Structures are given as C-alpha cells and as structure tokens.
Amino acid sequence: MLRARLEGETVTSTNDASTNAPQARPGQPSDDPEYAANLRRATLASSVGSALEYFDFALYGLMTALVFNVLFFDQSDPAIGLIGAFAIYGVGFVARPIGGLVFGILGDRLGRKWVLVVTIVLMGGASTAIGLLPTYEQVGLLAPMLLVLMRILQGFGAGAEQAGATVLMAEYAPVARRGFFSALPFVGIQAGTLLAAVVFSVIALLPEDQLLSWGWRVPFLSSFVLILVALFIRLRLRETPTFVELERHDQVADRPLREIFTRGLPGVVVGIGLRMAENGGSYIFQNVTLAFVATAGAGAFLANPLDRGVATWGVTIGSLIGIFSVPLSGHLSDRFGRKAVYRFGAVFMLLFAFPAWWALSLGIGWLAVAVIAIGIGVAVNSMLGPQCAMLPELFGNRHRYLGVAMARELSAVLAGGLAGVLGVSLLTLTGGAWQVMALYVAVIAAITTATTFLVPETRGRDLLRIEDAVRLSTEEEHTGIIITEARA
C-alpha cells in the first residue's frame, strides 16, 4: 500500500482489494446478494430517469423544428419563428448549469439519492405542463413566455439529473466493469430518444390541423406516467457506498462549491472539452439536421424538403443503434482504456462531418436517414459510452457530484444549447449552405479530439480518493509521487 499526502490530505490507493473493508468500496463482490440487489435498483433508477429526461428533450427538439415554430410564434416571418423556437430550446440549456450547481452542491452535502428524487419530479412536472400551454393564436406573446418558463424549470431539474445518474452508477459499479455498468443507464437516453422519435413519427401521421391542435400535446402529458414509475423506484434506492464512506469518516464537504473552483476546476475544463463533440453532435444530428432537410415553405433550406416523418426515422434508427453501441463502447473502455475509445468517436465525427452534410444537402430520403442514424448511433454514442465512467473518475469523492454536473451542464450550454439556434441561424444567413454546418461539426469534434490528449487515463480509478485525477496527474509530473491505481 502506497500513501501520499497531497494538499494536506492523506490519500490511499492499493492493488489489494482484500485489504479494504467491504463497505468502503464502490463495488462489492458480485455474489453478495445485497450488493447485487442495490446495483439492480441503481441501474433501474438511473435508466428510467435518463429515459424520461431524453424523451422530453428529444421530443421537445423534434417539436421545435416542426411544430413549436408554428404554434408559439407569429407566422408573418417563418424564419424568425424557427430561430425563436430554437432560442427557447436553448434556454433550457442555460438553466441546466444553474440546476447542476444548486443540486450538485446538495448532492455532495446531503447525498445522491434524495437529490435524484427531487430532480425527477421537477423535470417531469415541467415537461407535463408543456402539454397544457396555450398557443400564440390563443394568448399572443404570453405563449412563448410560458414556454420559456417551462423550459427553465425543465432545464433546472435536468441539470442535476444526468450528473446524478452518472455518479450514482459509477459509485455502485464493480471497478473492473465500471465502464460497462456506468453506460447501462445511458441506454435509457437511447430508449427515451427512440421513444420520442417513434411517438413523434406516429403523431406526424395525423392530419396537420389535428397535429397542431391537440396531437402534439399527447406525448408531453403522457410523460407523467414515467414520473410516477421513476419516483417509485428512486424512493426504494439506498445511498451509494462512496457517499456512505464519506459520512462514516466525517469527510463530507462543507463547501463543495469552493472546492470545485479551487481544486476541481481543471477537471471541469477537460470535462467540458470532452463533451463538446458528444453533446453538441447529439443535438445537431437530432434537431438541426431535421430543420435542414424537413423545413418547408418560405423558410426552407432545400429546394425539395423531405417529409418530416421520413426525416425522424434517422433519429429513431440512430437511437436503436445506441442501445447497443453505448454499453459496447463502455465495455471496450474497460478493456482498452477510456481515452482510446473516446478518441475514436471524436476522430470519427471529425472525418464524418463534411461527407455527412454534403449527403444531407442532396435531399435524398434514405440517405438523410442513414446520415442521421450514423451520426447519432456511432459518432456520438461511441463517446457517450466511455464518458459515463470517465467523468466521475475525473473528480474526487468530496465534490464528485458537483464536478460532474458543472462539466456536463456548462458544456451543454456551450455545445448543445448553442447547436440549435446557432446552427439554424448560420443556415438562414447563408441561404442553407451545408458547408457551414459541416465546419461547425468539424470544429467541435477537433476540440474533443485535442482534449483526449490532455486528460489522464482514469480506468479503474479508486472512487474513494479525495483528490481529482487531473490535478493529481499534474502534481505527479512535478513531484515524482507515484500512486498505484486500484484494479479490482
């Protein structure tokens, strides 16, 4: 056992898992019935929450490109309505870091479980309320104002939801298979996105007057069922072993916000860089591509726009691929390391950017479906799989929730939130020039590719450790301290 004192704290790491007390490990032996039951509950609790969040967000994105721009804005200028709809879509991303900050602090001080209970109610309740909103024709400017309010509440809850699910599973998962198990709840992301695309494809079959009068409301109102299911599961969940260990040793952070801006800032910065291509690419391929190929009328980008139902099949198939590619890439990161798998996804997106947008510009239905499906299912999700374990591994135990939340949600604003409004604005300003969007995708992919060369390998890191991986890596280079990581 090797020990080192960094920043006045004692840090211990070991290669001998047997020397640790059972409750002190993020993962217990697989033949422990109690641990196995808690692992199943954690996986289910995280998966249902992820499914609800991405069902709502993917559905909102689909509605933004094809419905909300008509219902919530004056139609005297369709292009302004489309930009306005995507701007409100981006408001949810602006609210997410605030929610991540508030609930991240609470998650590091009070525990992971109860924060996840609160966020699912807040996020799901706001999403359900969207289905009850009046339209621009009914109440004028009050309609987009109410939509903004619901997006703020939705984003506020979602800001801590995914960070909580990520931390929860990483802290419960067996160390040697942490990449795989941490990726499993994010199958819920694909399931939620898939469900949203299928639901939207079905309601898109309605006559346009019925779709715009009542059909669009049904999916939002039905999300109430998912709220009840997720709430029931999470109330039965136990606190994570790593947070229990913090409480047992009286190490819970009194000021996690101060810690994250003093010790944890390098981890937040590299986390943002890692997320630029994954998060930005996700929303570009889910939403901006649909606006590009399916927008009709005066604001159309293509001479012969595709039918909106055809275009959404790309999202559907991409999400179906993701159900397999996310856990697969998580598993591969357990074998070959987080960095190698993550870098593959970033480089793939970089090389894919220009051929993809050129193909979309041709306006061929099956080709557009294939491009969107590959962009989501392969390019984006081959980064999402290793990211599920990598982000929690970047941060120390005392401020892990807040660190993951800040890295995820600040990147969600810079990458995901800007993707819609900036992408559509660029297309509008250039008359639908596909090259600008190809360059946009290539730039964010290049940022993430470069970041993979700056971040340390985190596979198998002991999540009971107090110091961050990025900070520790820098200190080791300058002090020569060697700390052997646990490989359970």
Per-residue pLDDT of the chain (488 residues; tens, 9 = 90+): 333 323 333 333 333 333 333 333 444 444 567 777 778 878 887 887 778 777 877 788 778 767 888 888 877 777 777 788 878 877 877 788 888 888 888 888 888 888 888 888 888 888 889 989 998 888 888 988 998 998 888 888 877 777 888 888 898 888 999 999 999 888 887 788 778 878 887 887 888 888 888 888 988 888 788 788 878 878 877 777 888 887 787 767 677 888 888 888 899 999 999 999 999 999 899 888 988 888 766 667 887 888 877 778 898 899 889 889 999 999 999 999 999 999 999 999 999 999 999 999 998 999 999 999 999 999 999 999 999 999 999 998 888 888 998 898 888 888 877 777 788 888 888 888 999 999 999 999 999 999 999 999 999 998 888 888 886 555 544 443 333 333 33
The predicted pLDDT at position 8 comes to 31
CA pair distance 457, 452, nearest whole angstrom: 9
Q: What's the confidence (pLDDT) of residue 452?
A: 95
Joined tokens for residue 109: 């001080």
Query: Residue 110 burial by CB count (10 A; 0-12/13-18/19+): exposed, middle or buried?
Result: middle
- CB-based contact 309:483 (threshold 8 Å): no
**Per-residue pLDDT at 477:** 43
pLDDT at 485: 38
| Helix locations, 111-216, DSSP H | 112-130, 136-139, 142-172, 178-183, 187-203, 208-210
**Residues 236-266 pLDDT 10s:** 777 778 888 877 877 676 778 888 888 888 9
User: CB-based contacts of 198: which residues, under 8 Å, 6+ apart?
Assistant: 316
| pLDDT confidence of residue 366 | 93
Q: What pLDDT is stored for residue 33 in this prediction?
A: 73
Can you tell me the distance from the alpha carbon of 201 to that of 184, in angstroms, rounded to the nearest whole number?
A: 26
pLDDT of residue 273: 95
CATH superfamily for 33-479 is MFS general substrate transporter like domains (1.20.1250.20)
Distance CA 346, CA 387 (A): 12
Q: How far apart are CA 416 and CA 79, in angstroms?
A: 21
pLDDT number for residue 269: 93
Cβ burial 458-474 (10 Å sphere, 16+ → b, else e): bbbbbbbbbbbbbbbee
**Per-residue exposure over 50-70, b if at least 16 CB sit within 10 Å of its own CB, e if not:** bbbbbbbbbbbbbbbbbbbbb
pLDDT of residue 9: 36
